[in-house]
Amino acid sequence: MAIYLDNNATTALNQQVLDVMLPFMRRVCGNPSSLHRFGRLQRDAIEQAREQVAKLAGAQADQVIFTSGGTESNNLILRGLSACAGRVQKKKPVKRIAVSTIEHMSVLKPAQALFDKVDYIAVDAQGYVNQQNLEQVLDTDTGLVSVMTANNETGVIQSLVPLIHCCRQRGILFHTDATQAAGKIALNFIADGIHAMTLSAHKIYGPAGVGALIVDQTVPLNAIQFGGSQEKSQRAGTENVAAIAGFGKAAEMASEGLLQRQTHTRQLCILLEQGLKKIPAVTIFAEQADRLPNTVQFAVAGFEGESLLMQLDRKAIAVSSGSACSSGKTQPSHVLQAMHIPDDIALAAIRVSFGENNTVAEVETLLNVLHEIINANRRSPVMMAASL
Ligand SMILES: Cc1ncc(COP(=O)(O)O)c(C=O)c1O
C-alpha cells in the first residue's frame, strides 16, 4: 500500500463529506436561484454550508462568499480592491499593497499584476513576519496588507494580532490566506479583527474546486465577475451546490475534530522529528517556530529534494519537495530563500504533511526507507552523484 504524506497539497475526500455531496450530484435537481421547492432545497444546502464554514473561520454566515478555491479567493480580494475591478466599480480602488515574501503564488502573482506599487514584508530566519518588518514597509497610501496565517511549506504560524492592530491603527485593510491553517489551528476572523480571509475545501478533506473568501462588510470590495446576483453579486454564476455542501460538512468536521486531529498529527510530527535527528546532516526548517501540528519540512545535506522525493516515490511514499522547476532548472523555494536558507540546503527540502489517516507505522516506514536510501547513496558515489 502506498503511503500518502502530502496532505498540505490536498487531502483525501472524507466519506461523510462524499455522502453529503452525492444526493446533490445524483438525484436532487433545481437551481438555487429558483423560487420553487426544488430551488429552495438547493438554497437551504448552501445556507447551511455558509453557517458551517463561518463557524470554522470564527465569522458570521453573511460574511462568507463561496468561490472555486483558495486561488480564486486570493485573486478576488486583491483584484476586487484594485483599480482593475472594472469601469463599473463604485468603490475607491487601492493602489498600493504590502504582502509578506512567503505568500503563496496566488497572492504574490496577482499582487504583482494588479497594483502600481507592491511592498514586500520580510520574514526572520524562523519565517515570522514581525511588527517591525511590517511597519517598515507601510506608507500613507498603503491600502491593504496580506499575511498568510500559516505557511504551506514550513508550517510556520504567524502571530497575526499585533500585525492586524498595526494595520487597523493606520486604517489599512488586513487579509490573511488561511488555506493551510484551516482545520489545523483555530481561526478567529471576528475576534482578531481580520478584514478578509481565504479558505479552501480540499485542504480539509472536502472537494477540490470550492473555497471561500470571508469578508467584513466594511471592506469596499468590487465584484470581479459579472452576471447573476449569486453570492450578493460578488461572485456571479450558478453555485456548485454539491461542492459547497461538501465544503460545509468538511468545515463542520474540521471544527468538531480540531483537537483530535491536532493531537494525532502532532504525535506523528514528534515521532518523525525524533527519527530525523538520528540521521546525520539533517536540518529541520523553522524548528524553533510555532508550526502547524501536521507539517515537518527538512533537508538532508547532499541530497537534492526532488531526487529524494523520486526515490521515496519508488518505494511508494509520497512527500513534497519545496523547490519549483522553472525553465528546466530547479529553483529553491521562495519561502526558504526569504528565510535566508542557503540555496544548497533549500534545494534539499522535503516536506512531510500528515493527515488524519496517517499512522505511526507509516512514520516508522518513512524513517526506515529514508535510512535505506541515505545509506545506499552514501555508500555509492555514483548514486550519490545522481541524487545531487
Ligand atoms: C497557502 C495556500 N494558499 C492558496 C492555495 C491555493 O488553493 P486552491 O488549491 O484551493 O486554489 C494553496 C494551495 O496549495 C495554499 O497552500
Chain segment 162-203, per-residue pLDDT in tens? 999 999 999 999 999 999 999 999 999 999 999 999 999 999
pLDDT-derived band at 153 (thresholds 50, 70, 90) equals very high
**Distance from Cα 183 to the centre of ligand 1, integer Å:** 14
Average pLDDT taken over every residue of the chain: 94
pLDDT of the residue at 385: 36
- Residue 266: pLDDT above 80? yes
pLDDT-derived band at 323 (thresholds 50, 70, 90) equals low
pLDDT of the residue at 146: 98
List the residue whose alpha carbon is closest to atom 9 of ligand 1: 70
- Residue 357: pLDDT above 50? yes
Show the CA angle centred on residue 108, arms to residues 102 and 110, nearest 5°.
165
Chain segment 48-58, per-residue pLDDT in tens? 999 999 999 99
Tell me whether residue 387 is exposed, middle or buried, using C-beta atoms within 10 angstroms of its C-beta: 0 to 12, 13 to 18, 19 or more.
buried
pLDDT of the residue at 384: 40
List the residue whose alpha carbon is closest to atom 4 of ligand 1: 70
Average pLDDT of the segment spanning 11-18: 98
**Distance from Cα 216 to the centre of ligand 1, integer Å:** 21
pLDDT of the residue at 330: 82
List the residue whose alpha carbon is closest to atom 5 of ligand 1: 70
Ligand 1 shell residues, CB under 6 Å:
69-71, 104, 106, 148, 152, 177, 179-180, 200, 202, 211
pLDDT-derived band at 378 (thresholds 50, 70, 90) equals confident
Residues contacting 243, CB < 8 A, separation 6+: 21, 201, 206, 207, 209, 210
CA distance 78 to 194: 15
b/e per residue, 242-277, with b = 16+ CB within 10 A?
A: bbbbbbbbbbbbbbebbeebbebbbebbebbeebbe
Chain segment 81-115, per-residue pLDDT in tens? 998 776 656 677 899 999 999 999 999 999 999 99
pLDDT-derived band at 381 (thresholds 50, 70, 90) equals very low
Average pLDDT of the segment spanning 268-295: 97
pLDDT of the residue at 345: 96
pLDDT of the residue at 380: 60
pTM: 0.95
CA atoms within 13 A on the CB side of 244: 24
- Residue 331: pLDDT above 70? yes
> Are the C-beta atoms of residues 46 and 66 closer than 8 Å to each other?
yes
E strand intervals along the chain: 3-4, 64-67, 96-100, 117-121, 142-146, 173-177, 196-200, 211-215, 282-284, 295-300, 317-318, 320-321, 324-326, 329-331, 349-353
pLDDT of the residue at 386: 37
Domains observed in the chain: 15-256 (3.40.640.10), 258-387 (3.90.1150.10)
**Distance from Cα 69 to the centre of ligand 1, integer Å:** 7
CA distance 140 to 246: 43
166 is a catalytic site residue: no
- Residue 325: pLDDT above 60? no
